[in-house]
């Protein structure tokens, strides 16, 4: 079974896997691409023999809507961290921002953030980051297929992007802020699509649980 679940804010991707496992009473449950705890949106879940299909799903392009707070940056690049730097925000217009974010289109390189599940020499980066240990991370090639400015006001900008597997939108937000001459972190992040799975078709955990109970009773 492949499920399109709307991961709520505050849950880890594994929290969702654990919840689904408990509902369907199936030992083999996995997800098709981690979504940060502060983020919400499409999380693809596979159960039983369909977990094999997750590798292919994980490789698909993904779409996001993100809001950047300009002028401040946290150590996690999102709302879960501590503010470590502030910087004035230059005078910006929607036209300047639109022109700037378009420079990220195409192939580019990203350095994975320390607060991430990526492994370096067998260790999860976030575990090292929590101990205030920073290690060298090699840049990873990513591709931004689409990026547009949705809204800009009061030092907050919201953008939509479609990108390749392995793209950290938190890092993209930081890089956009830097290119605009300031610093920034993500206030919110919603994954709106994974391959052919859209957020409009995703089920909340409560909705899935209710429909599952109805189907088996």
Q: What is the mean pLDDT of each run of 10 residues along the chain (217 residues)?
A: 96 94 92 92 95 92 98 95 96 95 94 82 81 85 96 96 94 97 98 96 95 83
206 catalytic? Reply is: no
| 214 in Cβ contact with 105 (< 8 Å) | no
Residue 217: per-residue pLDDT: 66
Residue 124: per-residue pLDDT: 82
Catalytic residue among 36, 50, 78, 82: 36
State the pairing for strand pair 83-86/72-74.
antiparallel
Q: Is 9 left (phi over 0), alpha (psi -120 to 50) or beta?
A: beta
pTM of the model: 0.92
Task: Delineate the domains of the chain, giving CATH numbers in brackets.
Answer: 2-59+195-216 (3.30.2350.10), 62-194 (3.30.2350.10)
State the pairing for strand pair 83-86/40-47.
unpaired
């Amino acid at each position: 079974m492949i499920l399109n679940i709307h991961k709520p804010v505050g849950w880890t991707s594994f929290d969702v896997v654990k919840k689904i496992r408990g509902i369907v009473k199936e030992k083999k449950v996995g997800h098709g691409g981690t979504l940060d705890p502060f983020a919400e949106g499409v999380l693809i879940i596979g159960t039983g023999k369909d977990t094999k299909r997750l590798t292919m799903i994980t490789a698909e392009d993904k779409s996001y809507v993100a809001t950047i707070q300009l002028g401040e940056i946290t150590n996690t690049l999102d709302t879960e961290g501590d503010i470590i730097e502030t910087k004035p925000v230059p005078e910006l217009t929607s036209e300047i921002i639109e022109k700037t974010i378009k420079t990220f289109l195409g192939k580019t390189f990203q350095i994975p953030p320390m607060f991430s599940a990526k492994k370096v020499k067998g260790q999860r980066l976030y575990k090292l980051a929590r101990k205030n240990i920073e290690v060298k991370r090699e840049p990873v090639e990513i591709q931004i297929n689409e990026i547009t400015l949705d809204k800009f006001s009061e030092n907050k900008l919201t953008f939509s992007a479609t990108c390749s597997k392995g793209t950290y939108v938190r890092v993209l937000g930081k890089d956009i802020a830097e290119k605009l001459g300031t610093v920034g972190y993500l206030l919110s992040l919603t994954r709106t699509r994974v391959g052919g799975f859209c957020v409009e078709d995703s089920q909340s955990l409560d909705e899935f649980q209710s429909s599952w109970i109805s189907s088996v009773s």
